[in-house]
A = this chain, B = another copy of it.
Amino acid sequence: MTEMRTLKVALLGCGNVGAQVARILIEDADALAARTGARLQLSGIAVRNVNGRRDVDLPQELFTTDADTLVKDADLVIELMGGIEPARTLILSALSNGACVVTGNKALLAQDGPTLYEEADKAGVQLSYEAAVAGAIPILRPIRDSLSGDRITRVLGIVNGTTNFILDQMDSTGAQFADALAEAQRLGYAEADPTADVEGHDAAAKAAILASLSFHTRFALENVHCEGISSVSAADIAAAKDAGFVIKLLAIAEKLTDADGGEGVSVRVHPTLLPREHPLAAVRGAFNAVFIEAENAGELMFYGQGAGGTPTASAVLGDLVSAARRLVLGGPGRTETTTGHVPALPIAAAITSYYIGLDVADQPGVLAKIAQLFAEHGVSIEIMRQTIHRDAESMVESAELRIVTHRASEAALAATVQAVKGLDVINSVTSVLRVEGV
């Protein structure tokens, strides 16, 4: 056997994912070397506290608090610290030193991706981040490479396992949001402070990354409209179920063309009704999935574990081996192609279907009045279903009206709902939820 080159790998951060990456680099060293054509030598692990508790037993001498020195001496840098600083400075330093960087830092990428991509381009090295979206699921490379000869029109992703677990619990047990959240916390699927997950911030960062790759344009977090699931009630879930839908928190990126042929991309995260027969509806528990529609490929779906130390480590190591192979074979790193310049659309310009629940007076002509109002606002009704409830004691009747619209703009829908609220026959608007996949 010929002498193999050794590549030095610096690991920044040793949490849940980092510890598994370190373990695999050590345990599977021979197999990784065979596939890479070079030995991947873990040269050190930068942490805040070298004596901190780890999930995995790792050689103590690998730990250091001196991330700067570790990075300067590395061929490949894996950043799994999370957060903006010092991750940002360390990644920029690694890239300008000519090291390839693998990161799972979705917050940093969504906030400051362009700076990082430019530095990687300038240095001619690879910056990879498969682990940043949907954990173990290979999704970024397929979008960037496999679909590079196609035109993606829409991406719908279940990219946050915590919220999918909570919504799935609510759907299967009828639980309220607070109880399902408590259960998710008890099982370790949700953090003590669940804000980033339940308010959709985590999914929004991933939506920005998915949109950027899918539409060859750089979208930042500020381009993403974001609504979480904390206001989804057990009643919403039950009504959706009754109408044949399931509620999922979706990250959506979709290209829209206006009447004048102008193109824009709507990037948003919000609770969404999906028909029960839609492939994403079957994604249960803490699993993730990304559904892609492309002009030529048609419908594609990618499914797997979206979080967890070992699954996410698989994505990190896939990036690492690919980057290392490139170093062994020679040739420049893959650059991000940002060839499109499609503007991000405000949420008012988003076009989707809606589910609207109304508590109405049971009087003749109510349906006609409401239908007339929708028509006046240019919102076409697909399904209208009335259920009469009679209180046996008081003999008072009330009616529940459920409407599913055809695709309409957010602006038109908002105006319609506002006008509906003004009708004297309306007791209350019980829910307004967006619908996809119909």
Contacts and interface: CB of A to CB of B under 8 A. Distances in A.
A226 interface: no
A423 interface: no
Interface string A283-325: 0000000000010111111111100101101111111111001
B146 A318 contact: yes
Nearest to A333: B329
Given A142-B138, A151-B31, A301 B303 contact: yes
Contacts of A147: 138, 314, 318
A296 B136 contact: yes
A395 interface: no
Contacts of A303: 279, 300-303
A52 interface: no
Contacts of A149: 24, 28, 32, 35, 314, 316-321
Contact of A298 (B146, B311, B331, B335): B311
Contact of A146 (B28, B315, B334): B315
A19 interface: no
A230 interface: no
A100 to B, nearest CB: 14
B296 A304 contact: no
A290 to B, nearest CB: 11
B146 A141 contact: yes
Interface size class of A (residues with CB under 8 A): 35 or more
A365 interface: no
Interface in A131-166: 136-138, 141-142, 145-151
In this complex, the member of A32, A146, A332 whose beta carbon has the largest number of chain B beta carbons within 10 angstroms is A146
A411 interface: no
B298 A305 contact: yes
A150 B296 contact: no
Nearest to A321: B148
A339 interface: yes
Contacts of A282: 279, 282
B150 A317 contact: yes
A148 B316 CA distance: 10
A216 interface: yes
A405 interface: no
A375 B33 CA distance: 45
A381 to B, nearest CB: 30
A34 interface: yes
Contacts of A150: 314, 317-318
A329 B333 CA distance: 9
B310 A296 contact: yes
A346 B136 CA distance: 32
A20 to B, nearest CB: 7
Given A142-B142, A329-B332, 19 more contacts: A28-B151, A31-B339, A34-B339, A35-B337, A130-B146, A138-B145, A138-B147, A138-B300, A141-B146, A147-B318, A148-B317, A296-B314, A297-B311, A299-B305, A300-B302, A325-B334, A326-B331, A329-B334, A331-B332
17 contacts: A24-B296, A34-B337, A35-B337, A130-B146, A137-B300, A142-B146, A145-B318, A146-B318, A149-B320, A150-B318, A279-B282, A296-B311, A296-B317, A297-B315, A301-B301, A326-B331, A331-B332
Interface of A: 20, 24, 28, 31-32, 34-35, 37, 130, 136-138, 141-142, 145-151, 216, 279, 282, 294, 296-305, 308, 310-311, 313-322, 325-326, 329-332, 334-335, 337, 339-340
| 6 nearest A-B residue pairs (beta carbon) | A331-B331, A149-B317, A138-B146, A138-B142, A296-B314, A34-B339
